[in-house]
Amino acid sequence: MTFFKRLHIFEISLIVVVLSMHLYAALSDAYNLPNSWFTRDDAYYYFKVAQNITEGKGSTFDGINPSNGYHPLWMMICIPVFFFARYDLILPLRILIMLIAGIHVATSIMIYRYLKENLSEAVAMMASMFWVFNAYIHYTAYEYGLETPIAAFSIVLFIYKLSQFEKKCRKESVPVAELIRLALIGILVIFSRLDLVFLVMIAGIWIVFRNTALRFFAPLDMVIIFLSLVSSVALKGDIQTYNNQYAATAIQMTAVALAVKIGALYFFGAYQNPNTGSPFKTIQKALLAILTGSVITTGIYVIASQLDLIGSLPRSAFILDLVLSGFFIVALRLAAFWFGSKKTEVEPSPISTLKLNFKTWGTEAAIFYGITGGALFLYMLVNKLMFGTGSPVSGQIKRWWGSLGSTVYDQPAENWKNFLGIGYKGAYDTWQPTSNFFDWLARRARPFYPGADMQDERYYIVMAISAVIVLVFLFANAQNVKNKITNMALMPLIAGCGIHILAYTATSYGGAKEWYWISQMVLVVLFESLLLQLLLKPLLKFKPFKIASQIAVLATGMFLASRQLDYFTSVMRYNYFPADRPYMEVLPYLEENTPPGAIIGMTGGGNVGYFIHDRSIVNIDGLINSYDYFQALKAGKAPEYLHRHDMQIIFASSSLLQFPPYYGQFDPYLEAYSVYGGKSLMYLLEEPKY
């Protein structure tokens, strides 16, 4: 009862509505669950591995090859759920819908509490209901059955606690227990999606260097330095050349540039509060730091390349990088003059500041990064011992795909729009659901910029105009914006999202998906809530408008909820499908044309692997296979490897196997004997035919 007393009536209402709607979906016809809800093949990689773990087979998709191709926290959650798969394959899916609904509404309630503390109740209610009822967020982050629900929950929890920490640390010294608590939540974030490590690492800067300008500048400087160097290399050729030839070396030099330039910016005084001196002096410090850092970075590259310790890069890219990074880092300092509070006292020199704070900074950094980094190191060590590689093999394979130039699978960022993370309706459309709003505006702008084939142009014009309007609005409310961003601890999330996007677009990653951008979805909702608050703030002072705004918000929420309910009732039907209808049409075909106990190779095959009876599906693209298989696939010896593991049948498109990453290596070993839906059932021969 104590728990319910702590819940606001709005929160209770949200819980009842969300759980009721999802219960309706969970209890619908069994056929709906794999065909209208959990439709992504990738989700079944989790489901089947979790089922195998509960049955004592270990971390394996096929029961043969050990695999770590998943994010660990979601797998831990799935394991007890898929214990019930031994009794009924649909029952765990029904349970999972309700479990995800619980995580979903908990995230929404956290958004409400976080924004209520920092903005206003009306805006908090609006954001909370938008998160839980928005069609794009629900479909992408919650229906797929992937790790995104727990990732969203972890991100919001982390930012919420950082916000509370921000207010505490001004009034009192920070106890060690508080740092440990934040670090433990950081571990939760990392293990919910491993690529969120950037958010946690940047949050450490925000925590340790509180009460200094460094905590504001350094995270954004990291994004600028990263983007500047990789963009400079790409500009010296084209994106395809960058992906095929330069990506790995560019990332290595980016790591060097980050260490060198951040250090130079600190010791030249570019991390002191810019409002303590003149703009000219701040610009001078920043330019000297960037010039020095660029010279040192270029020198390290020249020496390393001469010793063949590193690959080649266009040397003129370092000159362009100096110009780009210098421009944006100076622009950032000038913006700080506008947003910063006016100060007159002179700060100690960087060296004096370091001496004064070295013990405190060192201790707190050791606690936070020791716990988060230690947990990540332990995870990698366990993976190395159990699976032969420290990181998930799926990520390694996708980066390998990206380096091949062209494959049958998803390509790396292939144009500047994707490279910058502003792709339109694709895997690199990273700023949803705002992108849908831009798309809507662009369609309305057609009379002003006509042309049936000009929608892309209209989209980016609308995006650019919107960005300018928002920037002007932010600068017009400078002090308020600065205070809100600080209190809400948004800076780590902003910089973390930037680094996160570049970690895919600039590394020649060959298989990014729309659900990867969960931290960006959270940032969009929180940042747009801030904009809404700034717009409404003058009016919220009047009680009648405050009441009217809450009524309007509730009406909007009811509208969004009714739309989602309409969607649920239209796709999750009752008594519509025969109870004996196969969950997938291909299942009867495979079971009729392969012997019991058969080991069948498939590209993908997650859902087939989960639902097929008395047969094992081996994933031959490698995403949920072993590290040893990955090495065999790269070496052109995948058929021999699979045959050694008793595979005798492959179900795939024979034409697909001609292209990278397979390169036709299966051809001499295959003999087709049946065809279904454009795919062939083929014997995998022990010896090549030619």
End-to-end Cα, the chain, rounded Å: 74
- Find residue 675's DSSP bridge partners: 680
pTM of the predicted structure, to 2 decimals: 0.95
Query: What integer is the mean pLDDT of 335-348?
Result: 76
Query: What integer is the mean pLDDT of 407-416?
Result: 89
Cα 186 from Cα 453, distance rounded (Å):
46
Our measurement of the distance from residue 465's CA atom to the centroid of its chain's CA atoms, rounded to an integer in Å, reads: 27
Contact between 432 and 135 (Cβ < 8 Å): no
Q: Which of 121-130, 227-236, 269-278, 680-689 has the lowest mean pLDDT?
A: 269-278
Q: DSSP alpha helices (H): ranges in 488-542?
A: 490-505, 518-540
| Predicted pLDDT at 342 | 67
Residue 544 pLDDT level (bands cut at 50, 70, 90): confident
Q: Which of 485, 397, 401 is nearest to 163 (CA)?
A: 485
Residue recorded with tokens 């209208």: 36
For residue 294, give every residue at least 6 positions away whose Cβ sits within 8 Å of its Cβ, in sequence order, or none: 257, 261, 318, 321, 322, 325, 326
b/e burial code for range 74-95 (CB count within 10 A of at least 16 → b): bbebbbebbbbbeeebbbbbbb
| Token couple for 652 | 């795939």
What does each C-alpha distance from 661 to 42, 398, 448, 601, 689 come to in angstroms? 19, 10, 46, 16, 21
Residue 3 pLDDT level (bands cut at 50, 70, 90): very low
For residue 487, is pLDDT > 80? yes
Strand order in the sheet with 599-602: 616-619, 599-602, 649-652, 679-684, 670-676
For residue 602, give every residue at least 6 positions away whose Cβ sits within 8 Å of its Cβ, in sequence order, or none: 608, 609, 617, 618, 619, 620, 650, 651, 652
Our measurement of the distance from residue 629's CA atom to the centroid of its chain's CA atoms, rounded to an integer in Å, reads: 27
Residue 172 pLDDT level (bands cut at 50, 70, 90): low
| Predicted pLDDT at 603 | 92
Cα 426 from Cα 274, distance rounded (Å):
40
Residue recorded with tokens 């919650």: 142
What does each C-alpha distance from 280 to 270, 275, 283, 284, 333 come to in angstroms? 12, 11, 5, 6, 10
Cα 190 from Cα 560, distance rounded (Å):
32
Q: Which of 601, 234, 621 is nearest to 400 (CA)?
A: 621
Q: Return phi, psi of residue 18, to 5°.
A: -65, -45
- Find residue 680's DSSP bridge partners: 652, 675
Contact between 642 and 618 (Cβ < 8 Å): yes
Query: What integer is the mean pLDDT of 444-470?
Result: 89
pLDDT digits (tens, 9 = 90+) for 88-104: 999 999 999 999 999 99
| Predicted pLDDT at 2 | 46
Residue 343 pLDDT level (bands cut at 50, 70, 90): low
pLDDT digits (tens, 9 = 90+) for 38-48: 999 999 999 99
Cα 391 from Cα 516, distance rounded (Å):
17
Query: What integer is the mean pLDDT of 576-582?
Result: 92
For residue 111, is pLDDT > 90? yes
Helix (H, G, I), strand (E, B) or coil at 486: helix
For residue 84, is pLDDT > 90? yes
The packing angle between helices 543-571 and 121-133, to 10°, is 10
Q: Return phi, psi of residue 489, to 5°.
A: 55, 45
Query: What integer is the mean pLDDT of 303-315?
Result: 93
Query: DSSP class of residue 403?
Result: T
Q: DSSP alpha helices (H): ranges in 388-489?
A: 393-402, 416-419, 434-444, 455-476, 478-487
| Token couple for 405 | 């130039």
For residue 119, give every residue at least 6 positions away whose Cβ sits within 8 Å of its Cβ, in sequence order, or none: 484, 529, 530, 533
CA angle 385/387/391 to nearest 5° reads 95
Query: What integer is the mean pLDDT of 160-182?
Result: 88
| Percent of the chain whose pLDDT exceeds 90 | 81
Residue 511 pLDDT level (bands cut at 50, 70, 90): confident
| Token couple for 165 | 């920490």
Cα 44 from Cα 218, distance rounded (Å):
40
Residue 428 pLDDT level (bands cut at 50, 70, 90): very high
| Token couple for 540 | 């919220």
Helix (H, G, I), strand (E, B) or coil at 160: helix
